[in-house]
Structure formats: structure tokens, C-alpha cells
């Protein structure tokens, strides 16, 4: 089953940490985006992470249902089936879940995994993100500890965040935050490690100036050395084995040098959404512009069914998304790195 088992997911993260690379983690919203992701990972011969946001789940459930957890379950179940055709491993993950959405989003997904495990299957998702960066760190860690305990019982990894990612994503806007909020301190990183490591495995989205969205070069001031300094504070106090698995959010438009530098400091996962959204949409726009008379029934004409058939442009979108994701795999040095068939 190319959707990783919990043991395979842990091995994926270990391989990335030891090999100095990271997995592209792409947000999906539909079958074409899932298929584009799987195509990219297979062609790049890399394992990867497919993830669903609350907004993505809500969209996938249908406009008349608008249930984020239900839509996430649908996308995850589809990925489990579609991934069977590929010879790489993928893990399923959910993106930012803020405290007010834990009961309506995260808890139902944990229950879905609990049900699958009772049926003799693995969990539906291999990891989930709780984003408590909107509340004080002490409160963030208290909630994180409770959620990690529940996740660990299901062999699921929890991703947490301390410090805020700037910008706007899925209706959550932190663009007005003061700059210092975008940088996690070494003290914060030590606190996260000490609170969570006794409970279970976790991923940590430490922030170093990250901003969601697309920006012109130079607009975002990343400081990857924050990750280095935070990891050093943890390992100086708790030993080399305490190095944490870090996550890079808001990477769209980042300089390659900054991306590569984070790999040296323990980043094993980088989220990619804005750039793949654009890659998916761009060929659709081109198709519509180049075939406008066929797509629209202009001046009472009948148009051209081949041009307005959604398959004609969604296929182009899927391939374009796959090509952009393969570029991300190259940037993150994950190309050619799969543990499929080895673990």
C-alpha cells in the first residue's frame, strides 16, 4: 500500500533527516490535484506528503455540504485508492487547524482513524497539524500535549507551531502581526521539545520569518539561522538525539539558498500551496483564452464541446501542477529518494 504505514512514515522522516533533504507537502482539494501530486512524486521517484487544509476539506465536501472534516475524509480515502497504482510512498497530513476548529475538524478525523484501526486498517492520516500559534505558548503547549497523547495512541504524528506564519491562508489572516511574532525563539524551541518529547513523535513548524502567499523577491526576510540556533539550544541541553523534525511553512517564492540552508538545520517537510495553485490555474486560463470562441457560445453559436469539456483543461492543469511539484522536489533534494520497498 503506497500510503505509508505509521512505521514507514517514521522511516521516511528519519531518512530525510539523515539524508539532508525534505519532502514537498502539497495541499490538495480535488481528484485532479491528488493525481497531479502522485504523478509528480512518481516521476521524481520521491516519497511525498499530501495534505488537506480546513478550507480544502470544506471545498471538497461540496458547496451544499460545506463540511471540512467530511471533505478531508473523502480526499484521504481517494488518495488511499489512487496511490495503489504508484511505486513511491505518500503520507497523508492535515494542515493548519486552529484551536476553535479542533472539535469540528481534528477530532472527527481522529475518530475516522480510530474506526479504521478497529477494522484492522491503518489510520486514515499519518499526521495532523494543530496550530496553536494564535494563543500564548503555555496554552498552545497544553492543548498540544492533549492532542499528541490522543494521536500517539493511534500511531499518528502531530505537527505543532510556535511563532506565527505571516500572511493569509484559508481565511486566517496574520498579516498585521508585528515582525517579532514571525520568529520562534530558542527558548520557545526548548519549551516545545520538553513539553512534547515525553509523549510521542511530533513535527515542529518553527517560524523564521515565513509568510504565506506569493511575494516579489526580497519582500520576505527569512532567517534560517533561527532554526540552527533553536536546534542547538535543544541539543546542548538534551543531547544530539533531541534534534527535532522541522517544517517549513510559507515557502512560496523563497530563494533556493534559503530553502537549502533550512535542510541543514533539520527541516524534513516543506509545505507548497501557493506555487502549485498558480501552476494548476495558469494552463486553464491559457486554454480558455486560446479557445474562447469554442468555450463560450458567442453570438448565438454552439461553441466547441471539446474545448469546454472540463477534462480538456483539467488534464493540462494536472500536468502543470506535477511539473511545479517536481521542481520543489529538486529544490528540497528529495528527487530520487524513496524508501518504497525498503521498509
Q: Binding-site residues for dihydroxyacetone phosphate, please?
A: 213, 250-252, 271-274
Q: Binding-site residues, please?
A: 96, 131, 161, 212-213, 249-252, 271-274
Task: With CA atoms as reference, report the closest residue to 51 among 16, 3, 87.
Answer: 3
CATH architecture group of domain 6-283+320-332: Alpha-Beta Barrel (3.20)
DSSP one-letter string for 53-98: -HHHHHHHT-TTT--HHHHHHHHHHHHHHHGGG-SS-EEEEE----
Report, as residue numbers or ranges, the catalytic residues: 95
Beta-carbon contacts of residue 107 (< 8 Å; ≥ 6 apart):
none
Do you know the residue count of the chain?
343
What pLDDT was estimated at residue 339?
97
Q: Which pTM was predicted?
A: 0.92
Query: Could you give the CA distance from residue 153 to residue 332 in angstroms, rounded to a whole number?
Result: 31
Report the run of H or E that residue 206 belongs to, with start and end: strand 202-206
Q: Hey, how many other C-beta atoms are within 10 angstroms of the C-beta on 188?
A: 20
- Could you tell me the pLDDT band of residue 138, with boundaries at 50, 70 and 90? very high
Torsions phi, psi for 242 (to 5 deg): -85, 0
| Residue 140 reports pLDDT greater than 50 | yes
Write the pLDDT tens digit of every residue in 176-232. 555 556 788 999 999 999 999 999 999 999 988 766 555 554 555 788 999 999 999
Largest CA distance in the chain: 75
- Could you tell me the pLDDT band of residue 171, with boundaries at 50, 70 and 90? low
| Residue 153 reports pLDDT greater than 50 | yes
Write the pLDDT tens digit of every residue in 50-98. 999 999 999 999 999 999 999 999 999 999 999 999 999 999 999 999 9
What pLDDT was estimated at residue 212?
52
Average pLDDT, rounded, for the chain: 92
114: which 3 cell numbers?
480510530
Q: Binding-site residues for Zn(2+), please?
A: 96, 131, 161, 212, 249
- In the Cβ-directed half-sphere of 123, how many Cα atoms lie within 13 Å? 27
Amino acid at each position: 500500500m503506497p500510503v505509508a504505514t505509521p512505521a514507514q512514515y517514521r522511516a521516511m522522516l528519519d531518512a530525510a533527516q539523515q539524508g539532508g533533504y525534505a519532502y514537498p507537502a502539497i495541499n490538495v482539494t480535488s481528484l485532479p490535484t491528488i493525481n497531479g501530486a502522485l504523478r509528480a512524486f512518481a516521476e521524481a521517484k520521491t516519497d511525498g506528503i499530501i495534505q488537506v487544509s480546513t478550507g480544502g476539506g470544506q471545498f471538497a465536501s461540496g458547496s451544499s455540504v460545506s463540511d471540512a472534516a467530511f471533505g478531508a475524509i473523502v480526499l484521504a480515502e481517494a488518495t488511499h485508492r489512487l496511490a495503489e497504482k504508484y511505486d513511491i510512498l505518500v503520507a497523508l497530513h492535515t494542515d493548519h487547524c486552529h484551536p476553535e476548529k479542533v472539535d469540528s475538524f481534528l477530532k472527527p478525523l481522529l475518530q475516522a482513524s480510530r474506526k479504521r484501526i478497529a477494522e484492522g486498517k491503518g489510520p486514515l492520516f499519518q499526521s495532523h497539524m494543530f496550530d496553536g500559534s494564535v494563543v500564548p505558548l503555555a496554552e498552545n503547549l497544553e492543548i498540544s500535549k492533549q492532542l499528541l497523547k490522543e494521536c500517539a495512541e493511534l500511531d499518528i504524528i502531530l505537527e505543532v507551531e510556535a511563532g506565527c506564519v505571516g500572511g493569509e491562508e484559508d481565511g486566517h489572516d496574520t498579516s498585521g502581526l508585528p515582525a517579532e511574532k514571525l520568529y520562534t525563539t530558542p527558548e520557545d524551541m526548548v519549551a516545545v521539545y520538553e513539553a512534547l518529547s515525553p509523549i510521542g513523535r511530533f513535527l515542529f513548524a518553527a517560524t523564521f520569518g515565513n509568510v504565506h502567499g506569493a511575494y516579489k523577491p526580497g519582500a520576505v526576510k527569512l532567517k534560517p539561522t533561527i532554526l540552527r540556533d533553536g536546534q542547538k539550544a535543544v541539543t546542548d541541553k538534551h543531547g544530539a538525539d533531541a534534534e527535532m523534525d522541522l517544517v517549513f511553512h510559507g515557502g512560496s517564492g523563497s530563494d533556493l539558498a534559503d530553502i537549502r540552508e533550512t535542510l541543514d538545520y533539520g527541516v524534513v517537510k516543506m509545505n507548497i500551496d501557493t506555487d502549485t495553485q498558480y501552476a494548476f490555474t495558469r494552463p486553464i486560463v491559457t486554454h480558455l483564452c486560446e479557445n474562447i470562441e469554442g468555450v463560450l457560445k458567442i453570438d448565438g453559436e454552439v461553441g466547441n464541446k471539446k474545448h469546454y469539456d472540463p477534462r480538456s483543461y483539467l488534464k493540462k492543469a494536472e500536468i502543470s501542477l506535477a511539473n511545479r511539484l517536481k521542481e520543489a522536489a529538486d529544490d528540497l533534494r528529495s528527487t530520487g529518494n524513496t524508501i518504497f520497498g525498503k521498509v
